[in-house]
Structure formats: structure tokens, C-alpha cells
Amino acid sequence: MVKELLKGNIAIAEAAVRAGLQAYFGYPITPQTELLEYLSKRMPELGRTFVQAESELGAINMVYGAACTGVRVMSSSSSPGISLMMEGLSYIAGTELPVVLIDVMRGGPGLGNIAPSQQDYNQIVHGGGHGDYYPIVLAPANIQEAIDLTVLAFDLAEKYRSIVIVLLDGSLGQMMEPAELPPMQPLRESYPEWATRGAIGRERRIHTSIYLNPVEQEKTNLRILQRWQEVKKNEVRYKSYFLEDAEYVVIGFGTAGRVALSAVRAARAEGNKVGLLRPVTLAPFPAQQIEALAGSSKGILVVEMNSGQMLDDVMACVKGRTPVHFYGRPGGIVPLPDEVLVEIHRMTEKSGRLNGHPRDQWLERMVQHI
């Protein structure tokens, strides 16, 4: 295969097609619309199912139904649309079905704007829908990763009968980079033993998220948690840059992570021993790696395109063993490498404990933007 110059939204759509996507249900919303638009042409061309539903609620429930039949199924949306899907996601989780969802985040809360942001971290990583469930969350930082993780999403969804969400911001949806698409996989011919595809001549299989007997519901919850333990053991992924001899560590995912990479390189050029950890799986979270870095580094800087959501997860791993700093640009602003470099300087020049919570400290410095 050769590299092509691909736009994020299109690359994800074609990667899903080549991963054997059989049915897509969605509703347009910027900055994700090209994904749906592309599939509206591509899926029928291949004789596969594409439906633009009447709303995100309709779309996610069509996904739910199709998933019961064991087909490879996907939806995509952006922040406000994802919020509308939360009830359906909880039902899918409770029914233990494999589903892939793409969230191309925009600025908010509320209707917000269409600029790039990472505002959905908490909603996506820590549930969003009601109940104890644990979606796998993959966070690409470039177009090649967006392709590779979309393909992986389908495999993980089926392996763990889980929801897998590919979480990226609007700029990744809109930008172009050279990337290589995978070869076209043949569509599946056999279906998992749980799939409901007609019960003639055998016992009926029932998919439900209703367990009126709490004992059965508790069993289900524990089974879901047990499966999650397996995911945590097997599926943690991250990328590290310059960590071998790093005295200070920057942590950021997706676009914030790659912006931080530019700043870390600039800091290295100045002679500062700074490294970068970029989580690729937000769930499962690279907790062990961050715990180890907390023990070996003089400070950690978390960079996000929100007001500090992953920050809480990092702090839970650090457990106060090293000072944690925070820099964020919420609302649809992409931080620039120079801004992150200033924060690296602040971290490396300041020794000892921070005076208060890193988010409070950051907010004090942000008054100029209010």
C-alpha cells in the first residue's frame, strides 16, 4: 500500500469500511460531518447498510439493534450529539454488545462551537451513560493513528463485547496528513455464538439490559467488571518521547499531546531534560506508567484542551509523590507550542510542592483570558 494525503474524518470512515464495517447509523454534526457524508456514498456502493437517522437518539438505537445481530456496526458524532446518545450507550453496555463509536469533539459545554476541544474526556472515559460500565477509549494524535485505532476498535469491541470509542478533536477530523490505509478485509461470514440471526431450529437467544431481579443485575455488573480487569491487563497503549533520562514529564493526549511534543523538543534543545507521555488508550489508562514516572521525576505537567479532566486521573496515579502542574485551553482553543514551553519553564524553575491544587493555580494565571 502507498501513503495518501488523507483528511481525518475521511480516513476514519475508509478505515472502518476496510475493517469490515457492515452497518453505519448516524446524524450529521460539524466537525464530524465528512465522515458520515463519505459513508453515505461508500456504504451503498459496496452494498452495505447506511442510514442517516432522524436524530442521534435514533442512530444509537439502530446501532443497538444491529449490534444484537453480531454485525460490525458503528456510529459517529460530535460532543452535543454524543450527549444525546448516552442513554443508548448505557443500554448497549448493559446488554454487553460490541459497538464502535467515533467522537470528534468540539467546543462547549452546550451548543458551544465547532472548534477543536477535548471537553468530552470525563463523559467518555468515566461513563456518561448511567450505571457501572467501562468503554474502551482510544485517542489518536495523527491521521495514521486514527486509521490504525479505528481498525483496532472493531477487534477490541468483539474481543471484549464492549463499547469502543475513538476520541479525537475537531482539528484531527479536519486536518490532512500522509497515511496508509489498511487492506480491505473480507466481510465476516460467520457470527459469534450469541448473535441473534433467526432462531429456527434452535433455542431463542435474548439480548436485554433489563434484569428485574437485582441478583441477576448484580451478576451482570460483576461480569462486566471482570471483563474490564482483562482489558486493563492487556490493552494499555501509550507513546513515550525522550522519557529515558527525563527529569520532568509532560502528559497529554491527542492534539494536546502532539502540541506538547513540539514544546518538549524545544525544551530539549535548550538542554532541559523533559520527556512526554502520550496516552493512546485513555481507558484503560496507563496508570502504572504514570505511577512509575511519579516516582522518578521532579514534576509532571498535564496539558489538555479542557479545564483539567485527565488531570484528575493523573493526580490519582501520582498520589502526591511529585508536584503536578496543569495547563489547559478549553472552549475550542488549541494551545500553541510556545505556551506549553512557558509552562515547562515554570515547572522546571519551580522546585518543591505547589501551593494548592494545580487547577486552581492554572485558573489564577488564566484571569487575563476572562
Nearer to another protein, 49 or 174 (CB): 174
Smallest separation (angstroms) from another protein to the CB of 7: 9
For residue 178, what are the contacts with CB-CB under 8 A and spacing of at least 6?
A: 3, 4, 5, 6, 143
Determine if 5 is a binding residue for another protein (CB under 8 A). yes
Site for another protein in 103-162 (CB under 8 A): 114-115
Among 170, 284, 286, 358, binds another protein (CB under 8 A): 170
Among 40, 49, 69, 174, binds another protein (CB under 8 A): 174
**Contact in structure between 169 and 118 (CB atoms under 8 Å):** yes
CA gap 14, 12 in Å, rounded: 6
For residue 365, what are the contacts with CB-CB under 8 A and spacing of at least 6?
A: none
Determine if 258 is a binding residue for another protein (CB under 8 A). yes
Nearer to another protein, 194 or 242 (CB): 242
The secondary structure of 175-226 as a DSSP string is -EEEE-PPPPPPPP-S--TT--S--TTS------S---SHHHHHHHHHHHHH
- Angle at the Cα of 79 from the Cα atoms of 74 and 80, rounded to 5 degrees: 105
Site string for another protein, 190-229 (x = CB under 8 A): ----------------------------------------
Determine if 259 is a binding residue for another protein (CB under 8 A). yes
Determine if 345 is a binding residue for another protein (CB under 8 A). no
Among 49, 185, 209, 262, binds another protein (CB under 8 A): 262
- Count of beta carbons in the 10 Å neighbourhood of residue 154: 22
**Residue 1 buriedness (CB in 10 A; 0-12 / 13-18 / 19+):** exposed
Smallest separation (angstroms) from another protein to the CB of 30: 8
- Say whether 21 sits in a helix, a strand or coil: coil
Stretch that binds another protein, among 97-105, 173-181, 201-209, 353-361 (CB under 8 A): 173-181
Binding site for another protein (CB under 8 A): 3, 5, 30-31, 114-115, 170-171, 174-178, 255, 258-265, 334, 336-339
